[in-house]
Chains A and B, each alone.
Chain A
């Protein structure tokens, strides 16, 4: 008899099962929160310990998780349905629109009835010396939810991991910490923990990355309210090294996030000097760059993100290309939780329960790459940029159901929709008719 079809449901956590989560960011907290909720639902006892030395409530680099800090419309709504309502103390600004800037003009794309459906947050305590400390970090908020549900947070670094009798054993530089029934790798690509898991030899390798440039621009809050309102400003410029840049308003700061393949220490200043950027943010406003960094961004996915009793999620595994990393953390954290509680912790269980979700994100990113290539063409060629602006401008006067290009851009840059679905919208004949109309109108205007 062939054994190929037999599914071994081993290592199912029973009572007092010890789960170690390495990384207390969104993936680790979402996993812990949902695993504990689901375990309670079916009357199973599990114990989860989250290891992260970082204090997310701290301002400055000590608490920062180096991220643009946008929670997409879809994630805000999904969390609300899950009973996780983002409190005012966590949300820095509710967003109801995007303003798209190009070298040839700008357009405003909004939600129907200007409902604020996107949240901007700080992953840590915010820029060093941030005014208004009554605000809370998003990562800290999620971690506190996981702790309320029963998880234990150990503020320590795990320095090495070994496998003994098939179980992961965790060590800090001071010695043995715990033997776990399951280890969940939920750290970011800027962490050194990836090497630790790669050294276990089950085939995991750190994902490929590119650098992003993130800067915090400080200015009076009333200037931000007047200049930005409740809109994220997006820049699609014919610059080879930069895919796109976004200015994200947050109280008395604006987070500048530049994504591309050629980002370095000069990128932020060069960007701020561009005429189109200076039109939005003239130097006369007296803003200052409070801090800046060049964090790594995951742009690929390791092929083997799990083995028996070990699983990797979030940025340590796969994430959505250039967008909605927090949405990917939710999807993967929850998927791992479902697998662990309802299936088990063996390689076969993860293959069956978690891998389809993981692979789904990988495949979806292929559509994302195609779409970004198309957008590269639109921002590189003047005639296409003008046609895009004209089409969106016309669409904004139509009913919300009849705005294909606006919806595509909204879904692309808000991370509101899977790239595959955006791609399917982009090949609709109506969209191409509208674009050609935009091309002719923009030529006519010239």
Chain B
């Protein structure tokens, strides 16, 4: 922590507060980044990545409810904390002080509204066509393409032999031909860690496995159900077009619904096989 920095230093992965805790403070980021995450049935979802000057943790102070999400330092960060009692005393003397907080909250509600309407559409599509696994994967990719601008994309599943197989893809052919093992390459690593990643300089990443097409930037999010990662969704660019944090956030949100839809499709397929077997045996008996 630099001598001229204010607040408290947090290292990468340090938890600032946890979901469900009582909120006594709000926070202002002085430097670095903070990830706001939430535990869901299909694993941890990153709701937002906040940067210098952003405030967080204010909701619990105003609605007196437990923390709605967990705040974790992403890299080294310095955070200034603001005590609830002191904040409300100051607000009672000067109510205009909350103008900026209201502005921030309004901006967040606006973003959530936009995201919600996009996700509602995606969810409806996904839940409607969950009978065929490959069709579902294709549709997930189409939805991802509609939301995030990327030249290539693929949905990969973990096979029994611990390799990744492509279930649906678009864009460059060479990116579709590569076969990776679990833990190998960026997608293989995301499959084993269960953490989504955004890379805007892929070639410098030690995990990157070169194909015939050079990938410049890449997004990769895990597909998981009940904390078991069963696949990944990739988006990549071969041109100089870079991804932004908003793209990663969208892909993460999409991956949650995509995981449910794929699991439903897989369950449906298994159920159909089982039903066919029962039918076959019934015919043999008769």
Contact = CB atoms under 8 A, between A and B. Distances in A.
Interface of A: 34, 37-38, 41, 74, 76-78, 80-83, 85-86, 88-89, 91-94, 113-117, 119, 225, 230, 251, 331, 334-335, 338
A91 B7 CA distance: 12
Contacts of A251: 3
B6 A81 contact: no
B87 A85 contact: no
A87 to B, nearest CB: 9
Contacts of A81: 26, 28, 55, 82, 87, 90, 97-98, 100-101
B92 interface: no
Contacts of A37: 99
29 contacts: A74-B86, A74-B90, A77-B82, A77-B86, A80-B82, A81-B26, A81-B28, A81-B55, A81-B90, A81-B100, A82-B100, A85-B30, A85-B52, A86-B6, A88-B2, A88-B31, A89-B4, A91-B4, A94-B4, A94-B7, A115-B80, A115-B81, A116-B5, A117-B6, A117-B80, A230-B3, A251-B3, A334-B96, A335-B94
Contacts of A78: 90, 97
B98 to A, nearest CB: 8
A287 to B, nearest CB: 18
B211 interface: no
A88 B5 contact: yes
Contacts of B94: 331, 334-335
B101 A94 contact: no
Please tell me the size bucket of the interface on B: 20 to 34
Given A77-B80, A81-B87, A81-B101, A115 B8 contact: yes
Given A81-B82, A88-B2, A115 B7 contact: yes
Contact of B53 (A83, A92, A115, A230): A83
A78 B82 CA distance: 9
B229 to A, nearest CB: 36
B8 to A, nearest CB: 4
Contacts of B31: 88
Contacts of A38: 96
A291 to B, nearest CB: 22
A77, A334, A338: most-surrounded residue (chain B CB, <10 A): A77
B14 to A, nearest CB: 13
A81 B96 CA distance: 11
Contacts of B52: 85
B30 to A, nearest CB: 6
B53 to A, nearest CB: 5
B99 A116 contact: no
Point out which of B80, B94, B100 has the most chain A C-beta atoms below 10 A from its C-beta: B80
A221 to B, nearest CB: 9
Interface string B9-31: 00000000000000000101011
A157 to B, nearest CB: 32
B4 A92 contact: yes
A372 to B, nearest CB: 23
Given A78-B97, A82-B100, A88 B87 contact: no
Nearest to A86: B6
A113 B99 contact: no
A382 B250 CA distance: 67
B6 A91 contact: yes
B249 to A, nearest CB: 23
A132 to B, nearest CB: 10
Contacts of B55: 80-81
A436 to B, nearest CB: 29
Contacts of A80: 28, 55, 80, 82
A189 B162 CA distance: 77
Given A94-B3, A334-B94, 14 more contacts: A80-B80, A81-B26, A81-B28, A81-B87, A81-B90, A85-B30, A88-B5, A92-B4, A93-B3, A114-B8, A115-B7, A225-B3, A230-B3, A338-B96
B94 to A, nearest CB: 7
B4 A88 contact: yes
Contacts of B26: 81
B179 to A, nearest CB: 48
A196 to B, nearest CB: 30
Nearest to A115: B8
B99 A41 contact: yes
Task: Please provide the 7 A-B residue pairs with the shortest distance between their CB atoms, ordered closest to farther.
Answer: A80-B28, A91-B4, A83-B100, A115-B8, A94-B6, A88-B4, A77-B82
Which of A34, A38, A76, A80 gathers most chain B CB within 10 Å?
A80
A85 B28 contact: yes
A354 to B, nearest CB: 13
Q: B81, B83, B90: which has the most chain A beta carbons within 10 Å?
A: B81
Contacts of B100: 81-83
A88 B28 CA distance: 15
B86 A113 contact: no
A93 B52 CA distance: 19
A198 B52 CA distance: 45
Given A74-B86, A77-B80, A334-B94, A119 B53 contact: no
A113 to B, nearest CB: 6
A78 B55 CA distance: 12
Interface in B82-139: 82-83, 86-87, 90, 94, 96-101
B101 A116 contact: no
A281 to B, nearest CB: 19
B273 to A, nearest CB: 58
B6 A119 contact: yes
Nearest to B31: A88
A114 B7 CA distance: 9
A340 to B, nearest CB: 13
Most chain A CB within 10 A, of B26, B81, B86, B96, is at: B96
B97 A93 contact: no
Contacts of A76: 6, 80
Contact of B5 (A74, A91, A114, A338): A91
A115 B10 CA distance: 11
